[in-house]
Amino acid sequence: MPNEKKDSDNMNSLKTNNTLHDFFQDIQNFDKLNIKEIEPTTKNINEYVFEGDLNIIIDELINLILKEMNEGKSKELIKKHVLSYIGNKMITFKQLYNWLLNNQCTSNSIYLFGYINYHGIGTNSNEQKAFELCQKAAELENIVAQIDITNMHIYGKSGDNNYNLAFKLSKKLAEECASGMKNLGYCYEKGIGTDINEQKAFELYQKSADLGNSIGIKNLGQCYYEGIGTDTDKQKAFELYQKAANLGNDTAQYNIAIMYEYGNGVKKDINQAIYWYKKSAEQEYQCAKIKLKKLLVEF
């Protein structure tokens, strides 16, 4: 069991700070979106921006992020939707930043201030500040912040993870949301902060999948494909991969392409393999890019 003896009290250590950097690193490439401050649609925009409106906007943004986390959306896609939402609300990124700077009174505003500090929305990117704000919001029981902290410790670079904390938070969040169920299932599957229990992993992936989490659906498909906590059933695995792929999950799109390419659990179909590799590659899934390039040369 990896890093079982790590102490959850070391969360504020330099090691944890470095882990945050790794956790956010996979989002960084999406900054090619070229974030620019959106110009106001009216000359007197400040007349229409009231404190009450901004409080509503903050809460709606947090709800949007939480909803898409629970649906298993990628970090890149969530970020794109956040930027689009802000741009449609007749406020500039700088106005939002300034308001959050002076209104750090709720866990939602604290978390969102960290989010925009990391991404450089209305300001320069500041990863250290982003971590500190995310941690503060998590300590105030903000669910979105706690999901982020959990992901950081589960999926961050090996050696920098606090697995005991990851399991503790996953167990708490599993009672509240699909993302928590999916993460707790992963903890049981891989022995993260607990003993391996494939049956529990399977059951939690099933619960997460039932709530529409595309990662939970994909992981459940993997259970059927490899016989994790259940009997091997490649037809069932294919059906679940297909469902998750249709929801936009890049890994499921890659998995279904593999099955089509080799006729594994489904009739071999190179055209379908190319189609799904392309879908996955469009989301910057590197393995899909490599496979797609190879197939396009061969066929």
Could you give the domains of the chain?
50-161 (1.25.40)
pTM value? 0.80
CB neighbour list of residue 231: distance below 8 Å, 6 or more residues apart: none
Please state the rounded mean pLDDT for residues 77-90.
92
Q: What contacts 273, CB < 8 A, 6 or more positions away?
A: 257, 258, 260, 261, 295
Q: Has residue 17 got a pLDDT over 80?
A: no
Burial pattern 2-25, b for ≥16 Cβ within 10 A else e, equals: ebeebeeeebeeeebbebbbebbe
Closest CA to 25 of 68, 66, 99, 75: 75
Contact in structure between 133 and 139 (CB atoms under 8 Å): no
Task: Give Cβ neighbours of residue 191 (< 8 Å, ≥ 6 apart).
Answer: 1, 2
- For the stretch 90-145, pLDDT in tens is 889 999 999 999 999 999 999 999 999 988 888 898 988 998 999 999 999 999 99
Assigned token pair, 2: 């990896």
Q: What is residue 26's predicted lDDT score, i.e. its pLDDT?
A: 40
* Angstrom distance (rounded) from CA 222 to CA 70: 19
Task: Say which residue the tokens 């509503």 belong to.
Answer: 56
Mean pLDDT of the chain: 85
**Percent of the chain whose predicted confidence (pLDDT) is above 70:** 82
